[in-house]
Structure 1
Amino acid sequence: MIRTAALDALPVREAVPALVAALDGHGTAVLCAPPGTGKTTLVPLVLAGLVGGGPRRRVVVAEPRRIAARAAARRMAWLLGEQVGGAVGFTVRGERVAGPDTVVEVVTTGVLLQRLQRDQELTGVDVVVLDECHERHLDADTVAAFLLDVRETLRPELRLVAASATTDSAGWAHVLGQGGLGGAPVVEAAGVSYPVETVWAPPARPVRPPHGMRVDPAQLAHVAAVVRRALAERDGDVLCFLPGVGEIARVAGQLGGVDAEVLQIHGRAPAAVQDAVLSVARHRRVILSTAVAESSLTVPGVRVVVDSGLAREPRVDHARGLGALATVRASRAAGRQRAGRAGREAPGVVYRCWAEAEDGRLAAFPSPEIRIADLAQFALQAACWGDPDAAGLALLDPPPAGAMAAAREVLVAVGAVSPAGAVTARGHRMARLGLHPRLARALLDGSAALGARRAAELVALLSEEPPREYGDDLAGAWRQARAGGDAYAARWRTEARRLERAVSPAGRTAETGAGAAAGTAPRTPLGRGTAAGDQPPDPRASNAGEAASPASAALEETTPGRNPVLSASPAFEARGPGRSPGSGAAPDDAAAGLIAALAFPERVAKARGEGAFLMANGTAAELGDGSRLRSAPWLAVAVADRPPHSASARVRLGAVIDEDTARTAAAHLLTAGEEVRWEDGDLVARAAERLGAIELAVRPLRTPDPALVRAALLDGLRAEGLGLLRWSPDALTLRARLGFLHRTLGGAWPDVADDRTLLERADDWLEPELSRARRRADLGRIDAGQALNRLLPWATGEAVRLDELAPERLEVPSGSRIRVDYSAEHGQPVLAVKLQELFGLAETPRVAGVPVLVHLLSPAGRPAAVTADLASFWQGGYRAVRAELRGRYPKHPWPEDPATAEPTRHTNARLRR
């Protein structure tokens, strides 16, 4: 029996007529409804005609999380007075509860994405509701883009609703309106009338902000203290939001002895625990939750929310091939969602563990996943859809060009797409596996060496990172999962069976037959490909573990549709008569190592000390104390992250391998050839074999390639400067003179001021000496002055004027030829001469039209005065110099009228003779 009273109590009912009218008129709409209004439960029932008397339609509701999908289906079934599987059902990865009478089906966005790849028309579906759009998960954005493509080209009658409590309504209206004038209609529903009081509860003392995965223990202790305070001050259950599973466990450990049942809810929590959280309880509870409880879920009894203010987002370092879930400050939109949990059933309160002054500085919305996540899987989906660059997809935010380029490299390397971006047969098969392309490559190629079952089990371990207590050894975690009875082991076995069926010949035949029977051939109007299966769990949604393992570096070049031969490695040679690599005879360590290396070949690593490794991508890696992997000569790193301010990655999960396995899995990184480079102050020439950044073998080269030698010597000159050449005083003077002429006259006179400029013209002035050099000592024999002469403007004839325009020396009235100093980078040339030698010189000497700066020296050669205007000096400044110095140097002439005196280099005694 339909629970009419409960349906009538949902505030969204007031907005339903406007929503129906918007869909009737436009086919798309944006529904903005605060938490608790019934947008997730009443709206689908009305659109399906199950309540309200409208026409019967089949409705698919897409939720970002599995727990939300199950909960929404159960709530709708309860409102109809039915069990799940009747008129309302759900499908999530590994679980389907639906039947022939199901009209409303709740699915995860990953499930819907793969259905669209399998059946682009979405046959039989009349309405799609994309719930919780504000979370901006990549799958949800992709599904919306695909559905809009279908509406435009195949099924204009397909209705589409984007629903959220705190969304960018204008942005979604524009996208759903496909750029039309005014976009899609926006329908707003009034919120629940229950007020939620805000209590600001910042820490008493400053705590360190989150860095990477790390959360200051003082912050977690403060959150636990606020939970205790809330229990003492308020009635009702307490829902506490924390960023991840690890933080939940630590806060739970600090809540011992509280007068309440402490429950932990997250994507990894067993179904029984999830059901318990969503059921009415007899006793008071404290529910510690990740972001899974932000949206779509009404947790009965909750009157208090404690918000840590932290969230998790993926981060990818494409240069190092590393990724992780980073702890960040939650957005204001997330804060509103979390606070709304307290006011679902009655007035409530939210304790925010930060200062009110900080709130305005928070981001308005969470970062769209398309901007920050690894895009390899998105790029494969787009390629299977027929739009490899995603240029034609209606996306709220375009994918970053750099991330798409890195994704394309991965897909080309694993043979999923051609260099032009077209999906291959192998790529279609990878997409059907519902795995990241890296893991799909490991499953397909690893099955040939290990058999489908063992490869599937290991890939299932990598698709959802094992709990920390399983350790950092992939082989050990594999054994523990096989023997385990925990919730993770149960999920792992289900996923392993799914992957084994998907990769086995029988499973592929059944899948192909089922697809053909269902009419899932490619649709020619869109020219799209086909795919089936489900997506791996979203790390942000499930908070699965505390480090991600994204693809970001190129894998090996593999001919599309062809698996590489893996049996060459001794680790996989038959251990006895009749055994082959495909028989699964390899030991656990070797099998785990192969799968990890196939998935992450750029992370194969060679030991360079106890617990220290160098990965093929050039990043250093370290193992924790006590790890059994510390003594391994080679390692395949499956999961790693790089702590802030650390030069080395931290290995979270890895497996022992041998060199042959590393060579096989990362064959595309193998290079062999001559290496000539400047190292430790001299030329080093050797023949080397490398696996990426890892040096495998090396021997000295006696006769290296001259071109490589020349390039390495130039590197040395760039690194250490042109001081490596022989610079005589005349050479330095010539460089200074040329620099002066370039500054003063420009034109054909060369710029020789800095080493970089000269090195860019090495061919013009350092040849042929540079080509004859073989080592550092040879550079020291090159006469820099003689080489610089080649840069003079000989072609224009100006070179012959060098001594005229910038003479090396100037003759002064005494007859002396005095060297001119041109070394002042931006100043005038300097003429340093004894004062008595300039008697009678009225005008300041000039070079290239520029007056020199005269340094007048005492008889002892010390500066007595500086002037650029000799005439003025003789008239004024000379008197002061004469008065100061003639008593000190009485043997030298100090005439009263220097303008008419005889210039001299000699003393009075010499003059009298």
Structure 2
Amino acid sequence: MFNLDSISQGLPAASLITPLEVALSQRGRAVVEAPPGSGKTTVVPPVVANACGRVIVTQPRRIAARAAAARVASLTGTPLGQTVGYSVRGDSRTSAATKIEFVTAGLLLRRLLASPELPGVAAVVLDEVHERDLDADLTFAMLCELAELREDLRLVAMSATLDAQRWAELLGDSVPIVRTGAEPHPLEIRYQPAQGPRLDQRGVSRDFLGHIVQTTASALREMESGSALAFLPGSWEVEQVVRGLRDLGISALPLTGSLSPAEQDAALTPGAQRVIVATSVAESSLTVPDVRVVVDSGLARVPRLDVERNISGLVTVPVARASGDQRAGRAARMGPGIAIRCVAEHEWAMFPAHTRPEILSADLTSAALTLAVWGAPGGVGMALPDAPDPLALQRAHETLAAIGALECEADRVTVTARGKQIARIPTHPRMARALIDASEILGGERAAQLVAAVESDQRAPGGDLAALLRDLRRGGSPASRRWRQDAKRLDQLAPSAARPDSEERLSDDEALALVVGLAYPERLARRRGDEYLLASGTGARLLRHSALSDQEWLAVADLGRTSQGTVIRAAVPVSMDTAILAAGSLLREEVETRWQQDRLVGRRVRALGAIELSAVAVAPDAAQARTAVVAMLHERGLGAFKWSPEAVQLRARLGLLHRTLGAPWPDVSEAALLALLDEWLGPELDALATGARFDRIHLVEPLRRLMPWPEASKFDELAPERLEVPSGSSIRVDYPAVDDPDAPPVLAVKLQECFGWLATPRLVAGRVPVLLHLLSPAQRPLAVTDDLASFWANAYTQVRAEMRGRYPKHPWPEDPLTAAPKRGTKKSAR
């Protein structure tokens, strides 16, 4: 049994002990809400272990799992790895006597897939669930399902924010919430923005990093005691700031998730006044000792997926205000503190309030495979805090299907044996696929080394991934040591294969390109002018002054999005043969038929995805040509034809009948005609497919094919092309366009030809009145009316008064109803 009084001494979380014990005994589940620095990560696991037995505690990061285990072990007075231990990727310190084991959520996910019942585990504590890490969300949902089958499994979710009710509802009905507070020390917030932009084309600008260095150095000089903690978005930025501070003679240590355990321990061990330069790993879960000043870059690095282009990666964004508040709070854990934000105060107010959950913004390929292996594709029916983004999930399923991990048919998603093999390798499914397939060509050890290099968080010099591999091979740096450890771990997971004969034929650069191409076949790229065309069809540019600027082919490992478009951040030169070897599934050879200067041409094309390898002119076959004609019409519309006035008039007449009478008179709108091309335009399509020009196609006869029988015999009666007026003239009716359904048919006729005409003419068996445009002798409109009787009785007198002096040779009788209609002048016989 753990001595809870000793462990919780002096910690606000001590108040959690009794209510948590009650909650576990009555419901077996609980939500703990406690602010950062209250000691919940230290106190809660021993409470749960005493009440339940062996407990697993999840942490969002490896460094937090190790640090929490070390802290609890020290408070219990036992060696780390005995009663209290940890397990993270590539490192484990546990024993048969371990009662509390701290792990990452990702590691527990793999345990659940390997052994879904978690034998020997009495309880699981999920810490920092508010961070909304994707692995943590999945672990939470899977454990909720497991707890339904294992009634003896106890679950505790811990959050540092005010969303405890939400987690309680997800855990089940009437799950208690256990809360504690922490009396905060005074905290002063300052805003010290840099003069220039924080970001440039490559990422965080060096000038801004220099501002962080100077701001931190000035703050440290003002302090009588205590250390400073600076937050940067990534490992590279941490290294630059550490170097800058050391150049000023200031003791500075990095703290990132990629450091070795010894390097992490150095930053977390109390010492002389110094600066700890950290990524977001220090926002929560960890206690960095003796911090009195926090310097916040205001930036975070988060996973993002460009769904349209299927490009995923880490992007640098403004930190969420909630995360920024957690960062600032680090300065006031031990006493009064100062937090310096390197942004303007008005800018800070516009930052997002909360971090967007990864399940709504990140690449879901790994998550989709995990859910499929678990037996719940897409997470349907699971207690996920948020459902996966549908488009991102669709992209993930497409990616997994392409590498043979899933079979997707309609709404059914099934994991394959290959998918289960990929899921057992603790890396992204793309890289696991590359490790499996490259091992057959390169051997497991070499493939593992190359995969580890691609996965390294080190920045490739000039974007050249091969140069990074050379640096990793030759160096004794911490990055090189981590690379060797990761390569050894992956080698143990790679499928066993005999040393292949082809291994020696591929140089390191080509072998690396093969691995990248196997992982990201759609990112194989060929030069196209001043940019590169990816096999996916996306265009991308190299970074300025890239070492790869003279290469014809690239295998791209890392892409980013900037305001200027898609940028290649890491790649390796590749030959066309190796590109085809890596992405054989994208290779296609087919005859393409397309329009070129308004005529059909055929080409036999060999291509790798969207990248054309070769093309030879050939005659298009009839079926392809006809398909191309139809496709072009759907793209350009019926405006591709040269419509004669007769065809326009015929279509307009048919349109009026359809609008007025409906079926069987045909719909002749653009959409309807395009949908029925074969029905009304079949012979003309064949003519176009054999080389006829669009401007030589006459559309009157094709439109007549749409007329219904026997109703067509009444067509000219219902919608006559011309109307006879009292003078005997046959005047053409101007029918409204099909896309202007509210306009009436118009008859433009000289006023004198209408004398004696009292009833307004009507079409479609009297249903549609004609709008008369009554014209002057000079063919200019004098009046517009659809009520002749009203015109003669009212408006005609004024028209006569105005016009008789202007056109004295033409009749303007006082009584137009008894006057004879005239085509010409008074003296004319017409």
Q: State the TM-score, normalizing by the size of structure 2.
A: 0.91
Give the letter for the 2:110 counterpart.
Answer: Q
The one-character-per-residue Cα deviations of 1:621-664 (angstroms, maximum 9, x if unpaired) are: 22234434333332221211232352xx3222222222232222
Give the letter for the 1:759 counterpart.
Answer: L
Higher mean alpha-carbon deviation, 654-663 vs 586-595, is at 654-663
Retained in 2: the 8 A contact 1:30–1:186? yes
Q: Decide which of 874, 878, 890 is 2:796's aligned counterpart.
A: 878
Tell whether 2:492 aligns with 1:501: yes
Secondary structure of 1:899's aligned partner = coil
The one-character-per-residue Cα deviations of 1:301-347 (angstroms, maximum 9, x if unpaired) are: 11233334432221113442311223334334323422331222113
Q: Decide which of 762, 770, 774 is 1:846's aligned counterpart.
A: 762
Retained in 2: the 8 A contact 1:304–1:348? yes
The one-character-per-residue Cα deviations of 1:227-282 (angstroms, maximum 9, x if unpaired) are: 46755766643323332334445666776887853443222345444223212232
Give the letter for the 1:589 counterpart.
Answer: D
Query: How does 1:144-223 map onto structure 2 within 5 Å?
Result: 144-153=140-149, 155-166=150-161, 168-177=163-172, 181-182=173-174, 184-191=175-182, 193-199=183-189, 201=191, 203=193, 214=203
Give the letter for the 2:511 counterpart.
Answer: A
2: CA distance, partners of 1:407 / 1:643: 23
TM-aligned CA deviation for residue 619 of structure 1: 1.0
Tell whether 2:531 aligns with 1:603: no
Tell whether 2:822 aligns with 1:908: no
Kindly tell me: are residues 656 and 833 of structure 1, through their superposed partners in 2, closer, same or farther at Cα, counting changes over 3 Å? same
Tell whether 2:781 aligns with 1:863: yes
2: CA distance, partners of 1:77 / 1:212: 46
Instruction: State the percentage of identical aligned residues.
Output: 48
The one-character-per-residue Cα deviations of 1:660-683 (angstroms, maximum 9, x if unpaired) are: 322222222222222223355432
Tell whether 2:539 aligns with 1:620: yes
Kindly tell me: are residues 3 and 584 of structure 1, through their superposed partners in 2, closer, same or farther at Cα, counting changes over 3 Å? farther
Alignment match, 2:688: 773
Retained in 2: the 8 A contact 1:48–1:104? yes
Give the letter for the 1:327 counterpart.
Answer: T
Kindly tell me: are residues 585 and 696 of structure 1, through their superposed partners in 2, closer, same or farther at Cα, counting changes over 3 Å? closer
Give the letter for the 1:766 counterpart.
Answer: L
1: CA distance, partners of 2:281 / 2:436: 32
The one-character-per-residue Cα deviations of 1:453-486 (angstroms, maximum 9, x if unpaired) are: 2111000112234324x34233222121100122
Tell whether 2:322 aligns with 1:403: no
TM-aligned CA deviation for residue 708 of structure 1: 2.4
The one-character-per-residue Cα deviations of 1:35-73 (angstroms, maximum 9, x if unpaired) are: 111111122234334xxxx78x33322211111122112
Secondary structure of 2:815's aligned partner = coil
Secondary structure of 2:773's aligned partner = strand
Kindly tell me: are residues 215 and 822 of structure 1, through their superposed partners in 2, closer, same or farther at Cα, counting changes over 3 Å? farther
2: CA distance, partners of 1:448 / 1:661: 15
Tell whether 2:287 aligns with 1:315: no
Retained in 2: the 8 A contact 1:451–1:584? no
Retained in 2: the 8 A contact 1:853–1:866? yes
1: CA distance, partners of 2:143 / 2:284: 23
Alignment match, 1:669: 586
Retained in 2: the 8 A contact 1:175–1:396? yes
Give the letter for the 1:27 counterpart.
Answer: G
2: CA distance, partners of 1:3 / 1:878: 106
Give the letter for the 1:701 counterpart.
Answer: V
Tell whether 2:196 aligns with 1:277: no
Secondary structure of 1:438's aligned partner = helix
Alignment match, 2:335: 346
Secondary structure of 1:48's aligned partner = helix
2: CA distance, partners of 1:85 / 1:725: 80
2: CA distance, partners of 1:635 / 1:46: 55
Alignment match, 2:65: 69
Alignment match, 1:30: 31
Secondary structure of 2:301's aligned partner = strand
2: CA distance, partners of 1:158 / 1:171: 21
Tell whether 2:632 aligns with 1:716: yes
Higher mean alpha-carbon deviation, 490-499 vs 304-313, is at 304-313
1: CA distance, partners of 2:71 / 2:280: 20
The one-character-per-residue Cα deviations of 1:158-215 (angstroms, maximum 9, x if unpaired) are: 32221221263122212323xxx32x22111221x2324352527498x879799855
Q: Decide which of 110, 113, 126 is 2:106's aligned counterpart.
A: 110
Retained in 1: the 8 A contact 2:268–2:288? yes
Retained in 2: the 8 A contact 1:819–1:831? yes
* Structure of greater relative contact order (alpha carbons < 8 Å, 6+ residues apart): 1
2: CA distance, partners of 1:878 / 1:655: 86
Higher mean alpha-carbon deviation, 782-791 vs 491-500, is at 782-791
Kindly tell me: are residues 877 and 382 of structure 1, through their superposed partners in 2, closer, same or farther at Cα, counting changes over 3 Å? closer
Alignment match, 1:44: 45
TM-aligned CA deviation for residue 492 of structure 1: 0.4
TM-aligned CA deviation for residue 491 of structure 1: 0.5
Kindly tell me: are residues 416 and 607 of structure 1, through their superposed partners in 2, closer, same or farther at Cα, counting changes over 3 Å? same
Kindly tell me: are residues 870 and 385 of structure 1, through their superposed partners in 2, closer, same or farther at Cα, counting changes over 3 Å? closer
Secondary structure of 1:415's aligned partner = coil
2: CA distance, partners of 1:217 / 1:839: 88
Higher mean alpha-carbon deviation, 239-248 vs 835-844, is at 239-248
Give the letter for the 2:633 counterpart.
Answer: L
The one-character-per-residue Cα deviations of 1:82-105 (angstroms, maximum 9, x if unpaired) are: 442333222222222334443322
Q: Decide which of 720, 725, 728 is 2:644's aligned counterpart.
A: 728
Retained in 2: the 8 A contact 1:475–1:655? yes
Alignment match, 1:426: 418
Secondary structure of 1:40's aligned partner = helix
Retained in 2: the 8 A contact 1:196–1:340? no
The one-character-per-residue Cα deviations of 1:796-823 (angstroms, maximum 9, x if unpaired) are: x322222222221111222211111113
Tell whether 2:234 aligns with 1:244: yes
Retained in 2: the 8 A contact 1:724–1:776? no
Alignment match, 1:554: none
The one-character-per-residue Cα deviations of 1:756-776 (angstroms, maximum 9, x if unpaired) are: 332112122112222232266
Tell whether 2:797 aligns with 1:801: no
Secondary structure of 2:372's aligned partner = helix
2: CA distance, partners of 1:786 / 1:251: 78
Query: How does 1:278-677 map onto structure 2 within 5 Å?
Result: 278-283=268-273, 285-352=274-341, 363-419=352-408, 421-468=413-460, 470-503=461-494, 505=496, 580-581=500-501, 583-609=503-529, 612-644=531-563, 646=565, 649-677=566-594
Secondary structure of 1:876's aligned partner = helix
Retained in 2: the 8 A contact 1:2–1:79? no
Kindly tell me: are residues 854 and 67 of structure 1, through their superposed partners in 2, closer, same or farther at Cα, counting changes over 3 Å? same
2: CA distance, partners of 1:817 / 1:167: 83
Secondary structure of 1:15's aligned partner = helix
Give the letter for the 1:810 counterpart.
Answer: L
2: CA distance, partners of 1:607 / 1:163: 51
TM-aligned CA deviation for residue 788 of structure 1: 0.9
1: CA distance, partners of 2:73 / 2:618: 77
2: CA distance, partners of 1:293 / 1:854: 82
What is the number of equivalent residue pairs in this alignment?
Answer: 820
Superposition RMSD in Å = 3.2
Retained in 2: the 8 A contact 1:454–1:584? no
Retained in 2: the 8 A contact 1:213–1:326? no
1: CA distance, partners of 2:113 / 2:778: 93
Higher mean alpha-carbon deviation, 288-297 vs 396-405, is at 396-405
Alignment match, 1:19: 20
Alignment match, 1:572: none
Structure 1 unpaired stretches of 5+: 507-562, 564-578
Give the letter for the 2:638 counterpart.
Answer: L
